[in-house]
Amino acid sequence: MSTAPETKRLALARAGVDRAAHHRFDEPWLAAAWSHPSTKVLPIAGGEVFVVDTETGSELVLLPSFEAPQTGDRYFLGTDEDGVSYFALAGESLPGRLDGDARPAGLREVGGTLSDRDAGLLVHAVALEHWHRLHSFCSRCGHRTEKAGAGHVRRCTSCAAEHYPRTDPAVIMLITDEEDRCLLGRQALWPEGRWSTLAGFVEPGESIEQAVVREVREEAGVRVGEVAYVASQPWPFPSSLMLGFVGKAAPGGTGITVDGEELSEARWFSRSELKAGMEAGEILPPSGISIARHLVELWYGEPLPAAARW
Ligand SMILES: [Zn+2]
């Protein structure tokens, strides 16, 4: 196990815009920023935005505010080093009029092909939009809430309680045994041949290291000894923060017993077994933007072949 794994920039953990949170409650500043001609607006509906495909990837379609719909919820996303302000504009549907080659797309599809700036804007907007959609009512008193803080708070219209966007921590881990084989599992609903690292949500009152040990034991029956944190990235499908770990199975604890609920199968793979399976098309590696893929590549020692879409 590498205890100080080299890290690369994960696809959804990139940004090019300062969130400038100090402006979120400054209504005059926000109004001036919205109407400034340099301001860029990202329409979003149901997690989808408009993109255009380029030779090297894709770009978000960002509108000047005077071309953007005047209805919808505005979320202030931040400012860049040139002083340009960015807003998401959440509506029931995307604006009808499309220029040229623009097409609707979601974060899962284009998250890995956008620039740092666009990836950061989109992951922020997707996470906020989903949170607003599901938090119309106060969890304290049941009355309606309304948007505040330029989209980063919801405030109860009755008891004035303030509610903040929710992020659910989840651990994801690559476990190795004494032969440096890695533990991968598959869920019954996944496409045939899809294998990935184990993962699960952190429970109340639990540290993330404890969650790693518990989840691996529950899902695969394997006992984990030491664990080391690697990296994190937001995974707003709908609201997770993936915390990536590597870990070692405890001596004598490598026997596999799958729970049959979260996992239908789990196996120890050597590098040569994984390589042969991928080359034969029998094993599909985790998707390109996932932290699972990053963890497997850290262990494998080189980039995996391009992932099939799933
Ligand atoms: Zn309330």
Residues 177 and 267 in one domain: yes
Does some domain include residue 142? no
Task: Please check whether residues 120 and 194 belong to one and the same domain.
Answer: no
Rounded to whole angstroms, the Cα distance separating 185 from 103 reads 35
Q: Quote the domain boundaries for residue 246.
A: 167-300
| Token pair for 14 | 């990139």
7 inside domain:
no
- Residue 89 Cα, ligand 1 centroid: separation in angstroms? 26
- Indicate if 185 and 266 belong to the same structural domain: yes
232 and 180 co-located in one domain: yes
Residue 174 sits in the same domain as residue 287:
yes
Residue where a domain terminates, one of 134, 153, 187: 134
Of 90, 118, 134, which marks where a domain is finished?
A: 134
147 CA distance to ligand 1 centroid (A)?
13
**Count of domains forming the chain:** 2
In degrees rounded to 5, what are phi and psi of residue 42?
Answer: -110, 100
Could you tell me the distance, in angstroms and rounded to a whole number, from the CA of residue 159 to the centre of ligand 1? 4
Per the domain annotation, does 233 fall within a domain? Answer: yes
Per-residue pLDDT of the chain (310 residues; tens, 9 = 90+): 444 444 557 999 999 999 999 999 999 999 999 999 999 999 999 999 999 999 999 999 999 999 999 899 999 999 999 999 999 999 999 988 666 889 999 999 999 999 999 999 999 999 999 999 999 999 999 999 999 999 999 999 999 999 999 999 999 999 999 999 999 999 989 999 999 999 999 999 999 999 999 999 999 999 999 999 999 999 999 999 999 999 999 999 999 999 888 899 999 999 999 999 999 999 998 888 999 999 999 999 998 876 544 3
Q: Does some domain include residue 228?
A: yes
16-61 confidence digits (pLDDT tens)? 999 999 999 999 999 999 999 999 999 999 999 999 999 999 999 9
Cα-to-chain-centroid distance, residue 152:
18
State the CB neighbour count (10 A cutoff) for residue 21: 12
Cα–Cα distance between 213 and 230 in angstroms, integer? 15
Distance in Å, CA 161 to ligand 1 centroid = 5
**Which has the closest alpha carbon to 218: 190, 235, 199?**
199
Tokens at 53, concatenated: 């495909």
* 138 CA from centroid of ligand 1 (Å): 5
Distance from the CA of 151 to the center of ligand 1, in angstroms?
18
**Centre of ligand 1 from the C-alpha of residue 144, in Å:** 7
Distance 145 CA to ligand 1 centre (A): 7
Distance from residue 155's CA to the centre of ligand 1 (Å): 8
Final residue of a structural domain among 83, 115, 134: 134
The whole-model pTM stands at 0.92
Provide, for the chain, the percentages of residues in helix, strand and coil under a 3-state DSSP scheme, each rounded to the nearest 5: 25, 30, 45
How close is the Cα of 140 to the center of ligand 1, in Å?
A: 5
206 within domain boundaries: yes
Alpha-carbon distance of 123 to 54, in angstroms, equals 20
Does residue 81 sit in the same domain as residue 204? no
CATH of the domain at 207: 3.90.79.10
Here the CATH number for the domain that contains residue 61 is: 3.90.79
244 found inside a domain: yes
What secondary structure letter does DSSP report for 191? P
Taking the centre of ligand 1 as the mean of its atom positions, its distance from the CA of residue 162, in whole angstroms, is 8
The residues placing their C-beta within 5 Å of ligand 1, an ion, are 138, 140-141, 143, 156, 158-159, 161
